Chain A
Amino acid sequence: MNAQVLSLALALVGHKAQTPVLVWGGDAEGGAPFVEADPADPSRVRGFDVEVADRIARGLGGGRTARFVQVQWSNIDQSVERGDFALGLSGVEDTPARRARHAVTLPYFEFREVLAVRPGDQSRIHGLADLRGRRVATLGATIAYDLLIAARDSTGIIPVSFDDDVHPYSDLLAGRVDAVLLDHIIAQRALRRMGGAAFVIVSQPVAVGHYVGVLARADSVLRDSIDAVLREAMRDGSLEQIYRRWSVWDDRQGALFEQIVRLGAAGAAGAAGTAGSTGSGGKAAPAQVIAYLPSLARAAGVTLLVSMLSMALAVCVGVALASGRLYGSRLLRVLTTAYIEIVRGTPLLLQLFVIYYGLAGVVRLPAFLAAVLALGLNYGAYEAEIYRGALEAVPRTQLEAARTLGFSEAQILRLVRGPQALRYALAPMTNDFVALLKDSSLVSVITVVELTKETAIYATNVGSWIVPGALCAVVYLAMSLPLARLARRLERRWGGRAA
């Protein structure tokens, strides 16, 4: 048996040594036409970036084949730098910040940042300037997001950041946002998926940008080889064939190819500058930190507000559930117990998705409200158990003493049981609030930009998690440490009375 395993392992190693591979990373969740799981064989990927990677591998020679590694789109830069793969592809944008920190290939595709609006707004909205005070959705940590942030300060639009490029369009139709700013091929794909008339793409692009491959900073030799392969693929028409197969070919690509082939690498770098990105790659580190402080402060405010409102809701829900469980009829006891067990037994992330997206057909909750609801209803179940335990901890003889004095059950709860239970519950409640403060980072999946999400955007833009991560941790600790200390103090002060 062992010998079999050993020989199999040797065969695999030998196989690997015989066929050189180009390991490349992309995000199949981003979908077609970039990279998507092949419907015919979901273990494989397909898309024009997949074919570009194949073409590059082939062009590098030596019988090389391309091997795909799944990576979250926003982490491609970090992942390539730590050596998870040699080349990052899948709609990676050319930005000055990326060029400053990594080895970046020639631009191989020109995209346009286009606005999508509801058909009724077609005549009114022609550009970002027409969207003052309106909500505009995009993918976080992109050129489009930077454009929206810049427009927030200049024209007063409200940027809404998503983690994927599907929900911005469904939220556009649902009326949660008024426009979507994204790459034209993403917009066209969404339009096809939704039936061709669901929304309108504004013809005048907001900006122009390019897709590039990204490599580790030290990999400039491989980058130069890849550039040569790309230039060759532009010249021999193989890149054009790939784009035509995926229906993303247009005149702009022809012009880009011509410019690159004719002008060489210098011209390519010039072409890359057209996106008008506000990426902060050129700034010195302290300046970057200062530049991000206002948005981090705003995000910390969102975190605090979401947490406080959610906790207030959780307390109300918890009190109602605990009362139902202790005082209710048999049916009410069964229902409250079921609620508590279901909510505690399923992931908060799932509950967030169900409340925000799942209920959209019935009630379209604004993201902030959905976040507060999901967190509040979830933590309400935990609070209920704390309160039940606390209410049950009040000595029975005190309740009986109250009954002999003529108090009604409601008065006993309000005057005798409740106030004492509150003391038992305060310390665990404070601990729960600290946990909620941190769990509130999950609400970024439904477009609420809170502290962790803002930090992730910041980290993606500066290309490092060290300073943003430390800053973010400091802010969380500044919010949670005083609460943890308060919990300990309450425990000390009232712990003695628990007997």
Chain B
Amino acid sequence: MSALLAIDRLCVRYDSRDVLRALSLEVARGEIVALMGPSGVGKTTALRAVAALQAFDDGQIVVEGFALAPGPVPPESRLRPLRRRVGLVFQAHALFEHLTALDNVTLALRHVLRQSRTDAEAAATKLLAALDVGSRSAAWPRQLSGGEAQRVAIARALAPDPALLLMDEPTAALDPARRSALGATLRRLCEQGRGLLVATHDAGFAGEFADRLIQLTA
């Protein structure tokens, strides 16, 4: 089975300092891969490069046959196939502050996937309920707790149904009970056939829920 994500000798330099030096990894469907390492080691940079938010200097990234090459980030018009395949959950959630939880999830369904409002809201309501935040769908982002905001952010990233989900430090703001619940959720997502690449420095969480660990060193 070919990999969902293949990163081959990825290099990123900031001001002639190597942030990532020849990182290679693969993520298959149905697999959770944890990208481990202390802060500043380039975990977030790797996720951003895969999501085409960040240029890289050398190597290659292939997501289900769509390849990113070194050099500047291509214009959005050329990234559409990638956008359909990859979802990203930011560490600080980055919810749209002017929209309710429900509208955060429906926005891409309606304006990118061109679904009707009714269809988009039905799908979003289902997603939020599955992530245990169905009761908060009318809330504004500033009214959500850290855990709730994270689950809304996951729902938003999952709404366009990407095959690959990237998560940046998902346990940073969670208590132990919430961590376990999140782990169970991630398992469920990958049982649906998705691949997950999770950047974390939480060794306990990674050891418990990831299928493979990839250790980055400074």
Task: Report the minimal beta-carbon distance from A327 to chain B, rounded to whole angstroms.
Answer: 13
Report Cα–Cα, A197/B157, bound state, in Å: 78
Looking at the complex, which one of B77, B97, B108, B142 makes contact with A405 (CB distance below 8 Å)?
B108
* Contact bitstring B62-98, A, C-beta under 8 A = 1, else 0: 0000000000000011001001101110101011111
Return the 4 tightest CB-CB contacts between A and B, nearest first. Answer: A406-B83, A397-B94, A405-B108, A401-B94
Report Cα–Cα, A420/B159, bound state, in Å: 22
- CB neighbours (8 Å) of B160 from chain A are 405-406
B residues engaging A (CB < 8 A)? 51, 53, 76-77, 80, 83-84, 86-88, 90, 92, 94-98, 107-108, 111-112, 142, 153, 156-157, 159-160
A492 near B: Cβ within 8 Å? no
Whether B84 pairs with A415 at a CB distance below 8 angstroms is no
Task: Report the minimal beta-carbon distance from B44 to chain A, rounded to whole angstroms.
Answer: 11
Looking at the complex, which one of A407, A420, A423 makes contact with B112 (CB distance below 8 Å)?
A407
16 contacts between A and B (CB under 8 A): A397-B90, A397-B92, A397-B94, A403-B83, A404-B53, A404-B83, A404-B88, A405-B87, A405-B108, A406-B112, A406-B160, A407-B112, A409-B76, A420-B96, A496-B142, A497-B97
- CB neighbours (8 Å) of A397 from chain B are 90, 92, 94
- CB neighbours (8 Å) of B88 from chain A are 401, 404
* Contact bitstring A476-499, B, C-beta under 8 A = 1, else 0: 000000000000000000001100
- CB neighbours (8 Å) of B94 from chain A are 395, 397-398, 400-401
Whether A401 pairs with B111 at a CB distance below 8 angstroms is no
- CB neighbours (8 Å) of B53 from chain A are 400, 403-404
A237 near B: Cβ within 8 Å? no
Whether A416 pairs with B96 at a CB distance below 8 angstroms is yes
Looking at the complex, which one of B92, B111, B142 makes contact with A407 (CB distance below 8 Å)?
B111
A63 near B: Cβ within 8 Å? no
- CB neighbours (8 Å) of B76 from chain A are 403, 407-409
Task: Report the minimal beta-carbon distance from A55 to chain B, rounded to whole angstroms.
Answer: 76
* Contact bitstring A407-450, B, C-beta under 8 A = 1, else 0: 11101000110011001000000000000000000000000000
Whether B112 pairs with A405 at a CB distance below 8 angstroms is yes
- CB neighbours (8 Å) of A404 from chain B are 51, 53, 83, 86-88, 157
A residues engaging B (CB < 8 A)? 395, 397-398, 400-409, 411, 415-416, 419-420, 423, 496-497
Chain A-chain B contacts (Cβ-Cβ < 8 Å), number: 67
- CB neighbours (8 Å) of A398 from chain B are 94-97
- CB neighbours (8 Å) of A496 from chain B are 142
- CB neighbours (8 Å) of B95 from chain A are 398, 401
Report Cα–Cα, A182/B83, bound state, in Å: 74
Report Cα–Cα, A244/B77, bound state, in Å: 83
Chain B, Cβ-Cβ closest to A398: B94
Whether B90 pairs with A406 at a CB distance below 8 angstroms is no
Report Cα–Cα, A397/B88, bound state, in Å: 11
- CB neighbours (8 Å) of A400 from chain B are 51, 53, 90, 94
Chain B, Cβ-Cβ closest to A402: B96
- CB neighbours (8 Å) of B90 from chain A are 397, 400-401
- CB neighbours (8 Å) of A403 from chain B are 53, 76, 83
Whether A405 pairs with B98 at a CB distance below 8 angstroms is no
Whether B84 pairs with A420 at a CB distance below 8 angstroms is no
Report Cα–Cα, A409/B51, bound state, in Å: 16
- CB neighbours (8 Å) of B96 from chain A are 398, 401-402, 416, 420
Chain B, Cβ-Cβ closest to A394: B97
Looking at the complex, which one of A408, A415, A419, A497 makes contact with B77 (CB distance below 8 Å)?
A408
Chain B, Cβ-Cβ closest to A399: B94
Whether A415 pairs with B51 at a CB distance below 8 angstroms is no
Chain A, Cβ-Cβ closest to B75: A409
Looking at the complex, which one of A402, A406, A411, A420 makes contact with B98 (CB distance below 8 Å)?
A420
Looking at the complex, which one of B84, B97, B153 makes contact with A406 (CB distance below 8 Å)?
B84
Task: Report the minimal beta-carbon distance from B90 to chain A, rounded to whole angstroms.
Answer: 5
Whether A407 pairs with B108 at a CB distance below 8 angstroms is yes
Task: Report the minimal beta-carbon distance from A388 to chain B, rounded to whole angstroms.
Answer: 19
Looking at the complex, which one of A406, A419, A423, A497 makes contact with B108 (CB distance below 8 Å)?
A406
Task: Report the minimal beta-carbon distance from B95 to chain A, rounded to whole angstroms.
Answer: 8
- CB neighbours (8 Å) of A420 from chain B are 96-98
Whether B83 pairs with A497 at a CB distance below 8 angstroms is no
Task: Report the minimal beta-carbon distance from B82 to chain A, rounded to whole angstroms.
Answer: 9
Known: A404-B157, A406-B112. 8 other contacts (CB 8 A): A398-B96, A404-B53, A405-B112, A405-B160, A408-B76, A411-B111, A415-B107, A497-B97
- CB neighbours (8 Å) of A406 from chain B are 80, 83-84, 108, 112, 160
Report Cα–Cα, A497/B153, bound state, in Å: 18
Chain B, Cβ-Cβ closest to A400: B53
Report Cα–Cα, A43/B84, bound state, in Å: 79
Chain A, Cβ-Cβ closest to B159: A405
Interface centre among B53, B84, B159 (most CB of A within 10 A): B53
- CB neighbours (8 Å) of B159 from chain A are 405
Whether A405 pairs with B156 at a CB distance below 8 angstroms is yes
Report Cα–Cα, A145/B215, bound state, in Å: 88
